[in-house]
Copies of this chain bind each other. A is one copy, B any other.
Amino acid sequence: MEKRPTMHKQVTVADVARMAQVSKATAARALGDYGTVGAEVKQRVIEAARRLDYRVNELARTMATGRSGTIGVIVGDIENPFFGLAVRGVSDCAKAAGFDVILSNSSEDIVEERAAVDVMLAKGVDGLIVAPAMMRGTAHLEAVLKRGRPLVLLDRDVPGLDIDTALVDGKAATKEALRLLVEAGHRRIGYVTATEAPSPRYTGLSDITLSTVLNRIAGFLEGAAEAALPEPERYIRFGASSGVQGQGIIGDLLSAPDRPTAILASDSKIALDVMRAARSAGLVVPRHLSLVTFDDADWTSAVEPAITVIAQPTYELGREAARMLIERIQGERMAPRRCLLAAKIIVRESVARLEVQDVKHEPRRKTSPANQK
């Protein structure tokens, strides 16, 4: 009669079957809602399960059926609001279809990504959604397919990997943003990204390891050529991740004598770093420096001045990736699809016409000479 607090054993179908006085098979049928069970017996089993507080063991079910009802998502950085929103798109779509989502961070590191893929496969996910950290060295992704699990790429393309992919048209978006700046009279326009490259400077398209960056830079250069901007690649910067190093790269760019008059930031974190650097250089946005950034982060519309952004359909991106994956999981056979979503520019207040801008502004005007190095 006494209740031991260390009753760790869980209730199984066998227990339920015993109480309902039926076989294990019948009890499982009644609870799992498959096969055929008599109405009266079914009632008895369900009642017994309720009394015992029975819960299925999903692991055992997965073992037996081969289906886990779980999809795995691997992104570079969950804290990045871009991926946060994309993951919500995935989750909402997956949940609606009865799937659970498990999430992993690769820290934009291909080794961690490989490990994460292994773990997820070992845990028996039905399919994977990956934002690959690199365009090359993706043998581990091919291995997923070879193991018979569907895979969908999120936001980033891998040339040569012919599978479903959900992408944003970054090339068109960048060209459009560039046109906006050019039409405002800007000729020296910077492009700043956190992605690492052999050098902080532009050294050629072939040194870029991420399709997103590649497309945007291509769009940037193409747009610059059409507008006949001189040496557009001079103002491209890589590796401007948060931290001292990234801050230095941006700071140097903004303090050069022929500094750009406008910056295109590749994500909202970079935009913040640009704003910090501008501030410590004594530059006011948009009076001395125009700014456009990828991603409509929440703060961009609340600050003064509100920031003009390239709003990517991030939530939809995740949703479409999940939709495609689930179709594959459910056995649809069809040619690989690529879902290319358009970004939209939201004009706010961070871009000024060049003739209004105070380009020759002396940096650190507010600081006294004594404080200047």
Residues of A in contact with B (beta carbons under 8 Å apart): 6-8, 10, 55-60, 62-63, 68, 70, 78-79, 81, 84-85, 87-88, 91, 100, 102-105, 118-119, 121-124, 147-148, 242, 269, 272-273, 275-276, 279, 297-299, 301-304
A153 to B302, CA, bound (A): 33
Partner of A275, one of B55, B81, B273, B302: B302
Instruction: State whether A85 and B91 are in contact (beta carbons under 8 Å apart), knowing that A59-B124, A299-B303 are contacts in the complex.
Output: no
A276 to chain B, nearest CB (A): 5
**Separation of A168 and B170 alpha carbons in the complex (Å):** 41
Q: How far is the CA of A81 from the CA of B272 in the complex (A)?
A: 15
Given contacts A59-B63, A122-B57, contact A298 B269 (CB under 8 A): yes
CA distance A298 to B279 in the complex (A): 15
| Cα distance, A121 to B8, chains bound together (Å) | 13
Which of A78, A242, A273, A297 has the largest count of B CB atoms less than 10 A from its CB?
A78
Separation in Å of the A283 CB from the closest CB of chain B?
11
Residues of chain B within 8 A (CB-CB) of A118 are: 55
Q: Which residues of B contact A8 (CB under 8 A)?
A: 147-148
Determine whether the beta carbon of A123 is less than 8 Å from that of B58.
yes
For the complex formed, measure the closest distance between the CB of A263 and the CB atoms of chain B, giving whole angstroms: 14
Given contacts A55-B118, A70-B123, A272-B299, 19 further A-B pairs with CB under 8 A are A6-B148, A55-B121, A58-B123, A59-B59, A59-B62, A59-B123, A60-B63, A63-B63, A78-B78, A78-B88, A79-B81, A81-B81, A88-B105, A91-B105, A100-B104, A102-B103, A272-B302, A299-B299, A299-B303
A304 and B304 contact, CB distance less than 8 A: yes
Shortest 4 CB-CB contacts between residues of A and residues of B: A8-B148, A299-B299, A58-B122, A272-B302
Question: What's the Cα separation between A66 and B79 when bound, in Å?
Answer: 32
Query: A88-B78, A103-B102 known; A57 and B124 CB under 8 Å?
Result: yes
Which one of B87, B119, B299 contacts A78 once the chains associate, using CB atoms below 8 Å? Answer: B87
Q: How far is the CA of A242 from the CA of B302 in the complex (A)?
A: 12
**CA of A122 to CA of B275, assembled, Å:** 47
- Distance of A66 Cα from B190 Cα, bound (Å): 56
**How far in angstroms is the closest Cβ of chain B from A95?**
9
A16 to chain B, nearest CB (A): 15
Residue of B nearest to A6 (CB): B148
Q: Which residues of B contact A100 (CB under 8 A)?
A: 104, 119, 123
Chain B residues lying within 8 Å of A269, measured Cβ to Cβ, are 298
A68 to B275 alpha-carbon distance, docked (Å): 45
Question: Which partner residue on chain B sits nearest A58 by CB separation?
Answer: B122
Whether the pair B58, A124 counts as a contact (CB closer than 8 A) is: yes
Residue in B closest to A123 when the chains form the complex, CB atoms: B58
**Smallest Cβ distance from A304 to chain B, in angstroms?**
7
- Jot down 30 A-B pairs with beta carbons below 8 A, ordered by A: A8-B147, A8-B148, A55-B118, A55-B121, A56-B122, A57-B122, A57-B124, A58-B122, A58-B123, A59-B68, A60-B63, A78-B84, A78-B88, A84-B84, A88-B105, A91-B105, A100-B104, A100-B123, A102-B102, A102-B103, A103-B103, A242-B298, A269-B298, A272-B298, A272-B299, A273-B302, A297-B299, A299-B299, A303-B304, A304-B304
